[in-house]
Amino acid sequence: MIGSLQLVARIGGCGVLFDAERVDSVVEVGAVVPAPGAAAAVIGLAAMRSRVATVLDVRTLLGVARCPEEKRREGGRAVATIVDGHLYAIAVDSLEDVSTFQLGAAPAGLDTAGEWDFVTGIGEGQQETLLALDVDRLVARASALT
């Protein structure tokens, strides 16, 4: 089995994997401007390389506490990706490494038709199991979160 290159990150204490081919860049997000009326997971908008990015907090989707409000407005580290021609910055607590992983199937409890359809598999980290995330599904789910 051939492994795939993955970016290892932490979101709310949860270890996650982003397919390196879908990562546009990793960035430090500056000030975030609120977006009234947006989905609950949308922190707001931020300028990134002369473009506007929608900044997402996906912690609730992963079953961990939302980022504190004051930290949400300050920005921080994020994984930038493009979905349907739009730039998104997925807020992360930390970025750890880029490494090759052989991904296994997602656990049976995380069915592909349910609320966790953005988890496409798992990878074994040094001391934990990491969730492989599908950025298209993750962005779609975060954008629809009320």
Task: Flag whether pLDDT at 146 surpasses 80.
Answer: no
| Residue 71 pLDDT level (bands cut at 50, 70, 90) | low
Nearest to 6 by CA among 107, 96, 136: 96
pLDDT for 53 equals 96
Which residue shows structure tokens 């953005």? Answer: 118
pLDDT for 89 equals 96
Per the structure block, which two tokens stand in for 24?
């546009």
Q: Cα-Cα-Cα-Cα dihedral of 55, 4, 95, 16, to 10°?
A: 70
pTM value is 0.89
Which residue shows structure tokens 């998104």? Answer: 88
Buried-exposed string 64-91: b where 16+ CB fall within 10 A, e elsewhere: eeebeeeebeebbbbbbbebeeebbbbb
* Identity of the residue numbered 123: G
* 11-44 tens-digit pLDDT: 988 999 999 999 999 999 988 999 999 998 999 9
pLDDT for 78 equals 95
pLDDT for 33 equals 92
- CB distance 44 to 30 below 8 Å: no
Instruction: Provide the number of structural domains found in the chain.
Output: 1
Show the domain range for 20.
4-144
Beta-ladder partners of 19: 6
* 123-132 tens-digit pLDDT: 988 888 999 9
- CB distance 33 to 83 below 8 Å: no
**Could you give the 3-state DSSP secondary structure of residue 75?**
coil
Q: What is the CATH number of the domain that holds 32?
A: 2.40.50.180
| Residue 113 pLDDT level (bands cut at 50, 70, 90) | low
* 92-107 tens-digit pLDDT: 999 999 999 989 888 7
